[in-house]
Amino acid sequence: MSHSDVVMDFINAWNQMDWDAVEDALAEDVFYHNIPMPPAEGKAAAVAFIRGMDVKAVNWEVLNIAENGNVVLTERVDNFVMADGKEVSLPVMGTMEIEGDKIKVWRDYFDLATFTSQMAG
């Protein structure tokens, strides 16, 4: 399995809202940073953030994916339907570092104002 396959399996788990598979894809000492928000260090913190999201549907569209060594870059549009029915569509550039078959480092870069304006609307 390539590192890109690990990431695509992770994204597919998100799209199926299979939180157990999402959790299983993360290393115990994962570093997860939704930039520009504060990072989550360790699997427990990352999982608490992920499982704390109140969403009814998820559809991450991968526009481009590139792999160099153990680093996988994704250009995505992350689409969510929140529990209150609001729809959020967020352009994201993601970087994931893979160790073995687990995600060790995960950084997503996005414009916070794009997210907050959609949540407010």
pLDDT digits (tens, 9 = 90+) for 53-83: 999 999 999 999 999 999 999 999 999 999 9
Q: Beta strands 71-82 and 102-109: pairing type? A: unpaired
Give me the pLDDT at residue 36, please: 86
* pLDDT tier at 92, thresholds 50, 70, 90: very high
78 part of the active site: yes
Catalytic residue among 9, 24, 54, 108: 108
Provide the CATH number for the domain around residue 87. 3.10.450.50
| pLDDT at residue 118 is higher than 90 | yes
Contact (Cβ atoms closer than 8 angstroms) between residue 58 and residue 80: yes
111 part of the active site: no
Catalytic residue among 78, 84, 101, 111: 78
Structural domain span for residue 113: 3-120
Quote the number of domains for the chain. Answer: 1
- Tell me how far the alpha carbon of residue 67 is from its chain's centroid: 17
